[in-house]
Amino acid sequence: MHNKKIMVSGIQPSNNITLGNYLGAIKPFVDLQDKYKMFVFIADLHAITNEFNPIALSKNKRNIACLYSACGLDLKKAIVFNQSDICSHNDLSHILLCHTTIGELKRMTQFKSKALTKNSNNTSFIKTGLLTYPILMAADILLYDADIVIVGADQKQHLELARNLAIRMNNKYGKMFIAPQPFILKNASRIMDLANVKVKMSKSNKDQKGVIYLLDDKETITKKIMEAKTDSLNKIKYDKKNQPEISNLLEIYAALSARDVNSIVKKYENKNYKVFKEDLAKIVVEKLSVIQKKFKQISKDFDKKIEPILKKNAKYCTVIVQKKTKLVYKKIGLIK
């Protein structure tokens, strides 16, 4: 028997993994892997709620599995699996769907930002999966009795829905779920796009020059950092309101060097942005080249080493979630 608390989280294989994904999610998975029992999955059923290409999807799935390991997640400890290998995610999702209002889903800021445009509130042509996606996410979490869910700040609202659904179902039918707590880092929970600090660094940003990918080469990383937008004050200060661009770079620097922002500000007191950016580029390149080296090695062994682990974990998870699904079916009267 284990006494550790349970952590559940996933990342969509909808493109390559960004530095934002790493700092907001993967790094805290790695840092906390000894403290929690971790279920970390490849959220492939979520990835198809956006436009997708089947060949790219399967390549991205492989890459994420390898990247989890290359970033330091110990596959002997963390239970890494493909979401679509476990049918119960969809089973529970349907039940939760029947307990969620359309209003709750339409209020989600991520839905609004993806589905609504400046000129139109018309959602008639938006795919339903984009609307219902937070329910599937709630199912992902509630199936495993997660105590905490490590996510970036953009997922906070989705986590609230998962909590609400857990409480709603427990109140209506008797205790069946744990209400999960979000675990969101103080810094680095929302790394912004280097070219446009108003939007988060994301796989889906149209303009890619401000998005650093974990598999970018040295030249590309350096170029993106050196060309990162900054203000004209040329003073290194952590002030998210008035100097959001340099503050964003400071958060990246701090997270990757395991230092606090203030000590970095002090170090660069009399230096200009160029010097700071050069140093930051070095730090990012160094960190990512270690990950990339491991990634290359692990990718070669995917079929022999990673795939069997994913399959074995799918079997393990299936047993856990079938038990949970059965309990839910019983509580709501679907089975005796």
In whole angstroms, give the CA distance from residue 123 to residue 69: 39
Q: Does 10 bind ligand TRP (CB under 6 A)?
A: yes
In whole angstroms, give the CA distance from residue 222 to residue 330: 57
114: annotated active-site residue: yes
- Selecting among 61, 200, 287, 324, the annotated active-site residue is 200
Instruction: Pick what 200 binds: ligand TRP, ligand AMP, none; C-beta below 5 to 8 Å, kind-dependent.
Output: ligand AMP
Instruction: Pick what 65 binds: ligand AMP, ligand TRP, none; C-beta below 5 to 8 Å, kind-dependent.
Output: none
For ligand TRP, the closer CB: 25 or 225: 25
In whole angstroms, give the CA distance from residue 135 to residue 99: 10
Q: Does 203 bind ligand AMP (CB under 6 A)?
A: yes
Instruction: Pick what 149 binds: ligand TRP, ligand AMP, none; C-beta below 5 to 8 Å, kind-dependent.
Output: ligand TRP
Instruction: Pick what 190 binds: ligand AMP, ligand TRP, none; C-beta below 5 to 8 Å, kind-dependent.
Output: ligand AMP
What would the x/- binding string for ligand TRP be over residues 115 to 144, using CB under 6 A? ----------------------x--xx---
What would the x/- binding string for ligand TRP be over residues 150 to 189, using CB under 6 A? -x---x--x-------------------------------
Q: Does 141 bind ligand AMP (CB under 6 A)?
A: no
For ligand TRP, the closer CB: 137 or 288: 137
CB of residue 336 vs ligand TRP: minimum separation in angstroms? 31
203: annotated active-site residue: yes
Residue 334's SS3 state is coil
8 strand-pairing partners = 39
Give residues with Cβ within 8 angstroms of 217, minimum separation 6: none
Instruction: Pick what 182 binds: ligand AMP, ligand TRP, none; C-beta below 5 to 8 Å, kind-dependent.
Output: none
Identify the helix (H) or strand (E) that includes residue 183.
Answer: strand 181-183
In whole angstroms, give the CA distance from residue 95 to residue 169: 10
In whole angstroms, give the CA distance from residue 62 to residue 55: 11
Residue 155's SS3 state is helix
Q: Say how many CA atoms lie within 13 Å of 291 toward its Cβ.
A: 29
Q: Does 25 bind ligand AMP (CB under 6 A)?
A: yes
For ligand AMP, the closer CB: 95 or 215: 215
Instruction: Kindly indicate which of the ranges 17-25, 52-60, 217-225, 239-247 contains the residues binding ligand AMP, using the contact rule CB under 6 A.
Output: 17-25
Give the type of residue at 41: F
Q: For the segment 180-199, give every residue that binds ligand AMP (CB under 6 A).
A: 189-191
What is the gyration radius of the CA atoms in the chain, in angstroms? 21
Instruction: Pick what 250 binds: ligand AMP, ligand TRP, none; C-beta below 5 to 8 Å, kind-dependent.
Output: none
Identify the helix (H) or strand (E) that includes residue 78.
Answer: none
In whole angstroms, give the CA distance from residue 183 to residue 200: 18
In whole angstroms, give the CA distance from residue 203 to residue 197: 15
Cα dihedral sign, 188-235-273-279: negative
CB of residue 207 vs ligand AMP: minimum separation in angstroms? 15
In whole angstroms, give the CA distance from residue 254 to residue 309: 34
Q: Residue for token digits 């559940």?
A: 8
Closest-CB residue for ligand AMP? 24
Q: Which of the residues are catalytic?
A: 114, 200, 203
**Contact residues: ligand TRP, CB under 6 A:** 8-10, 12, 43, 46, 137, 140-141, 149, 151, 155, 158
